[in-house]
Amino acid sequence: MDSIFVFEQLLNGLGFGLMLFLLAAGLTLVFGIMDTMNLAHGSLYMAGAYIAARVHEAGGSFVGAVLVAVVATVLVAFVLELLIVRRLYARDHLAQVIATFGVILIADDAVKAIWGPSPVMATTPAALAGPVQLLPELPYPAYRLVLLAVGLLVAIGLYVLVNHTRVGMLVRAGASNRKMAEFMGVRVGRVFSFVFALGAALAALAGALMGPISAVQIGMGEAILIPALVVIVIGGIGSVRGAFVAALLVGLVDTAGRAFLPPLLRSVLPPALAADLGPALAGIAMYVLMAAVLILKPAGLFPARA
């Protein structure tokens, strides 16, 4: 295990963390402002991935495909909010879980009907297919570098939006104290529609970008939803800053666990046991992190509510 390998894995972890952040940002704001648990957020991610993969294949332009995917997903999210999510604000979390679980079931079948049951190949754009020589010893896939750059840019953009614009102020007001914000004349309903669309756009972007380096298939939304939920819980529900920190933490812990734990265990345990335990501990790492955080700080690292 040399330092080059470690560095490469850290970059991978950072990339995964940033993608998780794109998903978690929307989720945590929707949760924070309207106290609404939306399990179907993962389905929006899946929609973004499928649309981008298909449009890219048909049209040839990757950037165009990502844009189409984002716009189309936002439209889907708009309809979803109008028809279902809007009616769930006033309901308890359980009702929200049940209804949005219903949405997941419908979304999975819809994707199956449109694009078929087998996974779709999302190709890496030709211009980014090769490696970049980061260090003399470290070639790193150009596409993953772009992923990092886009992720960071969006995170900065979101930070500016939330902390330095009027819209962001309304969003923060809604997240930290909804009743008070309403009292002060903030039309929380409208803020929410905006946030929901924004969250959908970020989820679609994450899906479109993750497509070429992961499997585009039915169920990918459910698989990524849980880490995204873990992120918002660790970060503190409603806190974008918390989601950012937690996403990077989870991304790093998860990637580091998968990359370093198995060789580490092999060096101290009998090989058969190490081969068993390695993947298990790697898969568990983020949940242990969450359990530990919740035991020490029951409302996450950066509680949005006083």
Partner 1 sequence: MSDKLHSAAIPSSGGVARWLPWALLVVLALLPIVGAELGLDYYVGFVRRMLIVMIAATSLNFILGYGGMAALGHAGFIGVGAYTVVALVDAGVSSAWTAWGAAVLVSGAIAALIGAVSLRTRGVYFLMITLAFAQMLYYLAVSLSAYGGDDGYGLYSPLELGFGRTTGNAALFFWIVLAIAALVFAFASRAAVSRFGLALTGIRDNETRMEALGYPVYRLKLAAFTGAGALAGLAGALLASHNNFVSPSTMHWTESATLLVMVVLGGLGRRWGAVLGVAVWLALSEVLKLYTEYWHWPLGLMLIAVVFAAPRGLAGVFDRRRAVQ
Does residue 305 belong to the site contacting partner 1 (CB under 8 A)?
Answer: no
Q: Which residues pair with 131 in a beta bridge?
A: 141
Is residue 70 helix, strand or coil? helix
Does residue 90 belong to the site contacting partner 1 (CB under 8 A)?
Answer: no
Task: Give the single-character DSSP code of 301.
Answer: S
Residue from 155, 233, 246, 247 binding partner 1 (CB under 8 A)? 233
Q: Give the strand pairing for 138-141 and 131-135.
A: antiparallel
Q: Which lies closer to partner 1 via its Cβ, residue 117 or residue 263?
A: 117
Token pair belonging to 119? 């996974």
- Tell me the window of 128-136, 158-166, 172-180, 290-298 that interacts with partner 1 (CB under 8 A): 290-298
CB of 299 to partner 1, least distance (A): 7
For the stretch 128-133, contacts whose Cβ atoms lie closer than 8 Å and that sit 24 or more positions apart, written own/partner, are 128/62
Q: Cα angle at 17 between 154 and 60, to 5 degrees? A: 60
**Main-chain phi, psi angles of 125, to 5 degrees:** -55, 140
Q: Within 50-89, which residues bind partner 1 (CB under 8 A)?
A: 84, 87-88
Residue from 33, 99, 246, 249 binding partner 1 (CB under 8 A)? 99
Those residues with Cβ within 8 angstroms of residue 297's Cβ, 6 or more apart along the chain or in another chain: 303
Q: Which lies closer to partner 1 via its Cβ, residue 31 or residue 62?
A: 31
Q: Which residues pair with 135 in a beta bridge?
A: 138
CB of 92 to partner 1, least distance (A): 9
Binding site for partner 1 (CB under 8 A): 31, 37, 39, 84, 87-88, 91, 93-95, 97-99, 101-106, 108-110, 112-113, 117, 222, 226, 229-230, 233, 237, 272, 275-281, 283-284, 287-288, 290-291, 294-295, 298-299
